[in-house]
Amino acid sequence: MSAATIDTATTGDARIPLRSHLRHTGALIRRNLLWIRQDPESMFDAVLFPVIFTLLFVYVFGGSIGQSLGGGQEAYVQYVIPGLLAMMGMNMAQGVGTGFNTDFNSGVMDRFRSLPIGRGSVLFAKIVVELMRMLVACVILMVVAVLVGFDITHWPGLFAAVGLATVFGSALMWVFLTLGVVMKSAQSVQAMGFLVLMPLQFGSSIFAPTRSMPGWLQNFTEYNPLSSLADAARGLMVGGPVAHGLWVTLAWSIGLTAVMAPVAIHKFRTKT
Is the distance from CB of 16 to CB of 117 less than 8 angstroms?
Answer: yes
Pick the binder of other proteins from 9, 18, 38, 223 (CB under 8 A).
Answer: 38
77, 128, 152, 242, 262 from 238: Cα distances, Å: 11, 29, 8, 10, 36
46, 169, 236 from 173: Cα distances, Å: 15, 6, 24
Asked if residue 1 binds other proteins (CB under 8 A), the reply is yes
Total residues contacting other proteins by CB under 8 A comes to 35
Work out how close the CB of 14 gets to other proteins at its nearest, in angstroms, rounded to a whole number: 4
Q: How many CB atoms lie within 10 A of CB 72?
A: 14
Work out how close the CB of 267 gets to other proteins at its nearest, in angstroms, rounded to a whole number: 15
- Coil, strand or helix at 3: helix
Q: What is the distance between the alpha carbons of residues 36 and 2, in angstroms, rounded to a whole number?
A: 33
- Coil, strand or helix at 131: helix
Binding-residue pattern over the window 39 to 78 for other proteins, x denoting contact by CB under 8 A = x---------------------------------------
Work out how close the CB of 27 gets to other proteins at its nearest, in angstroms, rounded to a whole number: 4
Work out how close the CB of 180 gets to other proteins at its nearest, in angstroms, rounded to a whole number: 17
Q: Any idea of the CA torsion for 11, 12, 16, 17, to the nearest 10 degrees?
A: 50
Nearer to other proteins by Cβ, of 112 and 202: the residue is 112
Nearer to other proteins by Cβ, of 113 and 267: the residue is 113
Closest to 127 in 3D by CA, of 82, 185, 166, 88: 166
Work out how close the CB of 121 gets to other proteins at its nearest, in angstroms, rounded to a whole number: 8
Work out how close the CB of 11 gets to other proteins at its nearest, in angstroms, rounded to a whole number: 9
Asked if residue 30 binds other proteins (CB under 8 A), the reply is yes
DSSP state of 148: T
Binding-residue pattern over the window 95 to 124 for other proteins, x denoting contact by CB under 8 A = -----------xxxxxxxxxxxx-------
Q: Which residues bind other proteins (CB under 8 A)?
A: 1-2, 5-6, 8, 12-16, 20, 23-24, 26-28, 30-31, 34-35, 38-39, 106-117, 272
